[in-house]
Amino acid sequence: MASAIHLVCMRRGLSFDGLKLIDPRSLLYRSDSWELLPSEAEQMLGGWVYLHAEKTGSSEFGGKIHRVDLLQNGISMRQPIFGIVFRVRREARHRTWRGHHNKPAWSGGLVPLALPHEIGRPKTMDSEDIRRRVPHTPKAAGACSDHLGT
């Protein structure tokens, strides 16, 4: 079953460290150098990746995972190194961190797909959308009467 993952990815200027555009026509990017268990990499296929500059901030980049490439087998006690290939999607921006919150963690770990865009539901307003909306000023009393033909 596909899963989502939130990752802390250090910024390098305007981009993220280890982020490469690999196919400009289909907007495929690869984020390199992630230590993952092979079982985690397999569960990420078809899921979503969210890149954060820090855990306390919302995601700044990400998308739907297309594939996970093995870049280097585990050396000694370390886990294998993977590159996460994903198609950029705007729905991956401005998302709060989900998963583990312990201080040194660079990953929230795998989390179940739960957001409307992750599970293929039609777009509805969720709490994050509501917080991002620009507050509007209510119309004066009677302002709707023009639409009622009065």
Model confidence over 75-93: pLDDT tens digits?
A: 655 788 999 999 999 999 9
For the chain, what percent of residues have pLDDT higher than 70? 77
Q: Is the pLDDT of residue 113 over 90?
A: yes
- Would 149 be classed as within a structural domain? no
Q: In what order do the strands lie in the sheet with 19-23?
A: 19-23, 28-35, 81-88, 61-72, 48-52, 3-8, 107-112
Model pLDDT, residue 13: 80
- Would 68 be classed as within a structural domain? yes
Token pair for residue 75?
């050396």
Model pLDDT, residue 1: 80
Model pLDDT, residue 147: 35
Q: What is the mean pLDDT of the chain?
A: 82
Domain that includes residue 51, residue range: 3-132
Which pTM value belongs to this model? 0.77
- Would 87 be classed as within a structural domain? yes
- Would 140 be classed as within a structural domain? no
